[in-house]
Structure 1
Amino acid sequence: MSSKQVIVYTDGSSRGNPGPGGYGVILIWGTVRKELSQGYRRTTNNRMELMAVIAALEAMKKDNLQLLVHSDSSYVVKAIEEGWLKNWIRTNFSGGKKNRDLWMRFHQLSQKHQVNMKWVKGHADNPYNNRCDELATAAADGGNLLVDEGYESEQ
Structure 2
Amino acid sequence: MLRMYTDASTKADPGPSGVGLVFISEGLHKQLAIPLKEEMSNHEAEFEAVIAGLNYLVEQQLASHDLLLFSDSKIVVTAVERNYVKNQKFRQYLLTINQLLQHFPSFSMQWIPEAQNKEADHFARQALQLRLKANPSSS
TM-score, normalization: structure 1?
0.74
Residue 140 of structure 1 corresponds to 128
**The one of 111, 114, 117 aligned to 1:119:** 111
Q: Does structure 2 conserve the Cα–Cα contact (< 8 Å) formed by 1:58 and 1:109? A: yes
SS state at 1:84 partner: coil
Q: Does structure 2 conserve the Cα–Cα contact (< 8 Å) formed by 1:70 and 1:117? A: yes
1:22-101 equivalences under 5 Å are: 22-40=18-36, 41-60=38-57, 61-84=61-84, 97-101=88-92
Cα 1:100–1:81 shift into 2, 3 Å = closer
SS state at 2:67 partner: strand
Cα 1:133–1:63 shift into 2, 3 Å = closer
Deviation at 1:14, TM superposition (A): 1.0
- Matched letter for residue 66 of structure 2: Q
Which protein has the bigger helix share? 2
Unaligned residue ranges in structure 2 (runs of 5+): none
Residue 106 of structure 1 corresponds to 97
* Structure 1 runs, 4 residues or longer, greater than 6 Å off: none
Task: Tell me the matched-pair count.
Answer: 128
Unaligned residue ranges in structure 1 (runs of 5+): 86-94, 146-155
- Matched letter for residue 83 of structure 1: N
Cα 1:57–1:96 shift into 2, 3 Å = closer
